[in-house]
Structure 1
């Protein structure tokens, strides 16, 4: 994050010919970023533990419920307005998660107890709920800030959130002595020790882009749209898990996936229709104003 952030600072200094104010001089944004960063750290722990006990396809479907939580918290926190298409999408995704949960133990990995499986199931669900809360809180922070939010501040806030999330996870790993396990895992990695560390570094970079994109969409639009964009990853993840990991694609997963796709189409069609109606309304008002102006001139 330091590379694009440095570029933004240099650009602002050259453009305004004055010193750019640092994020740390804005107490409200810094404290908010720190708190949200710790919550992100907790979410990372829940997510990491949960998916380690579940097949990729199952965990991705459970994570799709994040949209429902995002919508609910967006309604409560930032007073998000809903259309019939949005509500339809949320209901469909909820039903999709219920369909998956009814037969959740049917794809339990070999050698894993039922207790471990359901612990992973509910911890993954908890991670979805927590991140569904974090996204509207980011939007709430933007709205309550007395500072004009720009692209640079979005990157700064993401960096602060990442630093505190990393600190939270690092302290936990130190207490649990998890760092000693990293070299052992690297040596036991099937693709080789070098590729193990390559995967770790690549994961860190890709997730950073993911989080920056999530808060960026909130800055440009809303937390609900950010939740929708995250949920759109579901069909791709579901398909790749079956193709590359040879996971079984049960009828329940098929129904859940179909309902999820239906929900995505419903939401985007609703947004398209609402935008079209708004444009027609603006054009109609513009024609009336122009007509009145012509009459006055006459």
Structure 2
């Protein structure tokens, strides 16, 4: 996304649009699921092409609109802020995710998960120590401040979307399968795309694409490559996020997204020649520590539960004799 803006891209709504327009690629795995279910159906009934119920459709649509708003705010901030600063602020969504997960889905915290959240937030805070002097050349203080504000609001919004998605999974009356997850994701991205498309129409972005491609710093062909790659990668990112929620929890999804911060910092050093200062090294170490802490806690808890299960199965079974108190 930042590559688009660095080399001459300037359409905020287009950048927002690219984050969700890749949803048609979900039709391929959905079609595979449909064929598989039809071939393995033992009751000789044709499987439904779409299994999402109306209430679930409405919930997915609402999440989609919220996602569209978050995408616009994120794109606006990405146009104003360096990669390191924008990723730093975006990582604070973990704190919002933890709070919303506690209230919405009654997320249970352990010492290890709390330690993980704290370490990841501190890791982001350390990067803030060097963030005051990174305003891009030629950008006013007002523009930089607006970018900072928009990214902060986007982080809070995205932090709430993950627990909301988990809440939808918990409240649905039907069994949650991965094909249903794909349908929910498709509906959400459809409405997020419609939201961004409306902004593009009002802002005349469609008319400016060809002109912007001709003036793009990396060439016209690479302009379209950047657009297509952004759409595909963003869709994979969202699908991975909802997949983690389906397999585990919204908190783990938020933790894994926050883990992207040091990865982004390293990639920014490699591709954008940003300096790898000591703060980045410390942040990377704390992030890895926090990530390992969470999974160690999950591993330890699973091991203890397994011991309890084995102990219960090995206990001798006593029969009560009512005639002999």
Specify whether residues 92 and 173 from structure 1 end up closer, same or farther in structure 2 by C-alpha distance, changes over 3 A only: same
Secondary structure of residue in 2 paired with 1:179: helix
Where structure 1 has 5 or more consecutive residues not aligned to the other structure, the ranges are: none
Q: Does 1:158 align with 2:185?
A: yes
Q: How far apart are residue 233 of structure 1 and its match?
A: 2.0
Specify whether residues 284 and 206 from structure 1 end up closer, same or farther in structure 2 by C-alpha distance, changes over 3 A only: same
Where structure 2 has 5 or more consecutive residues not aligned to the other structure, the ranges are: 1-25, 320-325
Q: Does 1:4 align with 2:29?
A: yes
Q: Is the Cα–Cα contact under 8 Å of residues 218 and 225 in structure 1 kept in the other structure? A: yes
- 260, 263, 267: which is aligned to 2:294? 267
- Aligned position for 1:198: 225
- Aligned position for 1:144: 171
- 39, 52, 56: which is aligned to 1:14? 39
- Aligned position for 1:233: 260
Q: Is the Cα–Cα contact under 8 Å of residues 52 and 183 in structure 2 kept in the other structure? A: no
1:88-167 paired onto structure 2 within 5 Å: 88-101=115-128, 103-167=130-194
Q: How far apart are residue 23 of structure 1 and its match?
A: 3.9
- Aligned position for 1:247: 274
Q: Is the Cα–Cα contact under 8 Å of residues 68 and 93 in structure 1 kept in the other structure? A: no
Q: How big is the alpha-carbon RMSD for the aligned residues of Structure 1 and Structure 2?
A: 2.1
Q: Given the two structures, how large is their TM-score scaled by the length of structure 2? A: 0.84
Q: How far apart are residue 114 of structure 1 and its match?
A: 1.9
Q: How far apart are residue 245 of structure 1 and its match?
A: 0.4
Q: How far apart are residue 134 of structure 1 and its match?
A: 0.7
Greater fraction of residues in helix: 1
More displaced, 17-26 or 30-39?
A: 17-26
- 74, 82, 88: which is aligned to 2:101? 74
How many correspondences in the alignment?
293
Q: How far apart are residue 268 of structure 1 and its match?
A: 1.9
Deviations 1:118-160 (A, max 9, x none): 2212211221211111111111111111111111111111110
Question: Distance in 2 between the 1:47 and 1:269 partners?
Answer: 32
Specify whether residues 35 and 83 from structure 1 end up closer, same or farther in structure 2 by C-alpha distance, changes over 3 A only: same
Secondary structure of residue in 1 paired with 2:106: coil
Question: Distance in 1 between the 2:132 and 2:145 partners?
Answer: 8
Question: Distance in 2 between the 1:253 and 1:184 partners?
Answer: 38
